[in-house]
Structure 1
Amino acid sequence: MKHLICFFTTLLLFSCSTENKIEENLETPNLETYYPDNNTDNWDAISLNELNWNEAELQPLLDYLEEKNTKGFIILYDGRIVVENYFNNHTASTNWYWASAGKTLTATVAGIANDNNLISLDEKVSTYLNQNWTSIPIDKENLITCENLLNMTSGLDDSLGDSISADNLKYIADANNRWAYHNVYLKMQDVIATASKTTFKSYFENNLKNKIGMSGSWIKLNNLNIYWSTTRSMARFGLLIQNKGKWNGTQIVSEDFIRKATSTSQNINKSYGYLWWLNGKTSYQLPQSQFEFSGSLIPNAPNDLFCALGKNDQKIYIVPSKKLVIVRMGASADASNFALSNFDNNLWEKINALIN
């Protein structure tokens, strides 16, 4: 009987030990955040196996991306490349447009200028651009602050096209009373240029682009200033934001600004920060609409996800809880769109199958 008890005790201990080892093996590795070197194209990778991801779901994801007109796709885990693929004659060295996903570059540079006391987000825009930068009454124009440009609550009419000339900036509501997706955010670039006594491009390159090793350039197109770069450069920027504005030990933009930029920035569209879209909120509004939709922006995605969304499905997804940065560049997956599309939710169904 004594031998039998010993046998079952040993069996139980072995079973518990094996179970603990399986649980340990299923945990994702706890690694120090990796930053790619600024002067080379070398970039550390980590395998699906090391992360205990479902390798069988990788090819279905890649097939779906190719079918949906994707050109570049990257998944980073804590800075390391897990997946990097190029499709439809695109390569790692090919530039592509960010479209409105590049709004987040302007927001980040505004944060840097604010950190450096060049501007104040609480200050009225006319302090930097002088009066009559719009065609609305001066008392109404003076209500519009730099923050209103970043959170899309300027109150200016968003139905008049892309031009941000004074003649095309007309009153529709007092600032802070209406959320509308509007190109007037580009006036933030003029504010930064005026305050820094240089060009926006120069300030951007010296204070953001060069510090994290990005490539690319701003190109004027139909009244818009559009950023073009490689997919890896988009991923570099996402990694900076995922790590709360820090790059390899250097704070490029303050953690406090990143927190504000990626939190609800006004009480009208809960799913919008400072030019960033936010998941996991109770409602959201979309470009060119005043309708409030109930529910989360991307139901299949983690609640703490926030993202840069650009026309025709340019995407930077950031998920702090999972240490993920995911980038998608390409033509529109289905119909042309301004920011959010059905593709977001469908893509996250495929991503979840891989990472879970």
Structure 2
Amino acid sequence: MKKIKWAFALLLVGLLIFGYINYPKLNLISGYASKNLASNVFLAKRNAYFVNTVDHDMPLINLATAEADSEIKSAKASVYGLMERISVYKEGLGAVLTNTEHQKHNFSIVPERNQKRDTLPFPYGNQGVKDTVMANVDYDALEYVLSRALQDSVQKTRSLLVVYKDQIIGEKYGDRFTKDTKILGWSMTKSILGTLYGILEYENGISLEYRPFESLYNTDGPKSEITLNHLLRMQSGLAWDEDYFKISDVTKMLFLDSDMSQAQSDNDVIAPPTEVWNYSSGTSNLLSGILRKQFPTHQEYLNFPYAKLIDRIGMHSMLIETDLEGNFVGSSYGWATTRDWAKFGLLYLHRGDWNGDRIFADSWVDYITKPTEHSNGTYGAHFWLNAEGKYPDLPRDLYSANGFQGQRVFIVPSKDMVIVRTGLEEQSDEHFNTLIGDILKTIK
């Protein structure tokens, strides 16, 4: 009997210790489920049951119970009734996870948008696609490659789009997804945010050697040496922990912070600029905050990405969600249809020229595709590279916007091609090497 009591006592102590250690994580779990459900239901117009049973069927997140309220456009989630988190949706700004500082989304200012539809086909308009057959494209082989990728239940691909010489030559969607479904790009949003600095450089003459800590934050010491270039290349030397499986800098920022632009700014300098390369979502949101300070009003800041990039090239489905302080979450929360993500890739394929309208300087493409020191040739400036053959069988000039769960916009200049893949499962480099390689082989 004594042994049973001791065993029970040890089990109880163990459960208490486990609960004490993991209880704070429940905040992040329920926060993710609440925010993701609200965005998918009210922004992407997807079915709540499908999101809960499929999208949230991942380790830890599947512990949460989430439900959406269509009447007040909000979603709440908890883990076994604990740590309830609430997200609310506002048209034009997206869904935002509330916290103890902000109980609701009450912003009166939303982006002013010009979403006028023209009569041109894709990519320069939104009136269908060109129905031209190219003699050097093996359409049957391409159909087979795309269909096989969509049928792979392990890879969980949701859409695949291939654009060659400005024409869609292949397009496939998974169950409940269509050409009109908005899909979260996750960190592909970083490439959108980085592009806004290319536009600022071209139109306003902002220098990439600009030192925001010195100019905007009146900071002396090591931080004052950090430039926009260092931030765009993720080599500022600021401390950052990008770990999504524990309580870390990035999870605290995304699921606890009201002002996400401050998370990276508040961290210490651990190395002089350029001495280390450290991928950081906090850096992208810091850049979003710095961008906001370039405009005299909040309205002008909210209008800028839409007027100068998104609506300007007809990506009318796109929306970048904001945090509780009204900053664009440039690290993670950009939504668009697969075709509109492809338009973004085509803008880069054409080196900033959009059907005669120059969006950013030709030289900007050279800048963002120049390998950043210590990244092993895999990173430029808010874009990922194949400069040193991360994908050994693919062209070295390939570069891409990358996001969580295998979201990708691949730009392949030497093949005059853009490929978009969205899904629900992270892909290995080997998988992408094979998939993109098989697609390229269908062009004779």
Fold-level similarity (TM above 0.5):
yes
Partner residue, 2:289: 190
Partner SS, residue 76 of structure 1: strand
Taking a change above 3 Å as real, the CA distance of residues 261 and 45 of structure 1, as seen in their structure-2 partners, is farther
Partner residue, 1:148: 230
Partner residue, 1:312: 405
Partner residue, 1:216: 318
Partner deviation per Cα, 1:139-171 (whole Å, 9 max, x = no partner): 110111111110000111122421342675222
Q: Any conservation in 1 of the 2:236–2:272 contact (CA below 8 Å)?
A: yes
Letter in 2 for 1:42: G
Partner deviation per Cα, 1:17-49 (whole Å, 9 max, x = no partner): xxxxxxxxxxxxxxxxx96334x33232443x5
Of 380, 383, 389, the match for 1:276? 383
**TM-score, length-normalised on structure 2?**
0.62
Offset at residue 198 of structure 1 (A):
4.1
**TM-score, length-normalised on structure 1?**
0.77
Q: Which runs of 5+ in 2 are unaligned?
A: 1-120, 242-247, 254-261
* Structure 1 position 165 matched with structure 2 position 272: no
* Structure 1 position 56 matched with structure 2 position 159: no
Partner residue, 1:8: none
Letter in 2 for 1:228: W
Letter in 2 for 1:50: A
Aligned counterparts, 1:39-50, within 5 A: 40-47=126-133, 50=135
Letter in 1 for 2:340: S
Question: In structure 2, what is the Cα distance between the partners aligned to 1:270 and 1:143?
Answer: 24
Partner residue, 1:14: none
* Structure 1 position 350 matched with structure 2 position 443: no
Q: Any conservation in 2 of the 1:73–1:327 contact (CA below 8 Å)?
A: yes
Question: In structure 2, what is the Cα distance between the partners aligned to 1:269 and 1:152?
Answer: 13
Partner residue, 1:245: 352
Aligned counterparts, 1:302-341, within 5 A: 302-333=395-426, 341=429
Partner deviation per Cα, 1:244-289 (whole Å, 9 max, x = no partner): 00000111111011221122244654221111111132xxxxxxxx
Partner SS, residue 157 of structure 1: coil
Offset at residue 50 of structure 1 (A):
2.2
Runs of 4+ in 1 over 6 A off after TM superposition: none
Larger relative contact order (CA 8 Å, sep ≥ 6): 1
Taking a change above 3 Å as real, the CA distance of residues 225 and 64 of structure 1, as seen in their structure-2 partners, is closer
Moved more, 62-71 or 180-189: 62-71
Letter in 2 for 1:328: R
Letter in 1 for 2:356: G
Count of aligned residue pairs for this structure pair:
297
**Identical aligned residues as a percent:** 27
Taking a change above 3 Å as real, the CA distance of residues 249 and 243 of structure 1, as seen in their structure-2 partners, is same
Partner SS, residue 335 of structure 2: strand
Taking a change above 3 Å as real, the CA distance of residues 41 and 60 of structure 1, as seen in their structure-2 partners, is same
Partner SS, residue 42 of structure 1: coil
Of 308, 322, 344, the match for 1:207? 308
Offset at residue 52 of structure 1 (A):
3.4
Letter in 2 for 1:270: G
Offset at residue 355 of structure 1 (A):
2.9
Of 66, 87, 95, the match for 2:182? 95
